[in-house]
């Protein structure tokens, strides 16, 4: 369960706005409101008839990065960076959208497919891994490969690493060839 201020901090939303929306969601039966001392805490109502459907939607969208990170955890040492790109990263998922995942490191394509394939069932979306070795990624980036430039210029949801680590991967190449 979460206090309103915790939810405000996590969602970057004003607490005043949240109070009204949380009250509406509790009234609709989607949330459970618990008063603990002088604090009001909210949690998902697991007995709500649409709970499983909503949880499934969240797993397919919001929980995407967590599910992918868990799947990649056994081979994380082989992956410099991994991120979701495309419509899901832009926040524009379509009903049939696949999950485009770029992986840069020493993990091979066949291994990536084998590791990510089981996740497709829980996400109910096809996963499309794009796998590059570090050298290949750097070479394509330094030669201004149109696909790489396009992907790097658009929103990304990082699964392994972050924007700074991705930037360092391309800067290391620039520094070592200068």
Chain segment 114-139, per-residue pLDDT in tens = 999 999 887 888 999 999 999 999 99
- Output the CA–CA distances (angstroms, integers) from residue 81 to 71, 110, 153, in the order listed: 14, 17, 16
Distance CA 107, CA 130 (A): 11
Strand ranges of the sheet holding 127-132, from the earlier edge strand across to the other edge: 127-132, 99-105, 79-85, 157-160
29 sits in the region (left: phi over 0; alpha: psi -120 to 50; else beta) called left
pLDDT, tens only, 33-70: 999 898 899 999 999 999 888 876 676 566 788 889 99
Residue 178 has pLDDT above 50, yes or no: no
Dihedral of alpha carbons 18, 24, 27, 29, sign:
negative
């Amino acid at each position: 369960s979460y206090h309103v201020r915790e939810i405000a901090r996590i969602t970057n939303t004003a607490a005043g706005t949240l109070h009204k929306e949380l009250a509406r969601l509790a009234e609709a039966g989607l949330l459970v409101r618990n008063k603990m001392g002088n604090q009001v805490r909210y949690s998902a109502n697991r007995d709500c008839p649409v709970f499983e459907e909503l949880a499934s939607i969240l797993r397919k969208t919001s929980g995407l990065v967590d599910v992918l990170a868990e799947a990649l955890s056994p081979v994380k040492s082989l992956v410099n960076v991994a991120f979701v790109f495309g419509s899901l990263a832009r926040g524009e998922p379509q009903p049939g959208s696949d999950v485009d995942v770029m992986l840069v490191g020493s993990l091979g394509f066949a291994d990536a497919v084998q590791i990510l394939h089981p996740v497709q069932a829980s996400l109910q979306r096809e996963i499309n891994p794009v796998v590059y070795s570090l050298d290949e990624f750097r070479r394509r980036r330094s030669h201004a490969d149109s696909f790489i430039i396009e992907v790097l210029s658009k929103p990304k949801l990082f699964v392994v690493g972050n924007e700074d680590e991705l930037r360092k991967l391309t800067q290391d190449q620039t520094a070592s060839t200068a």
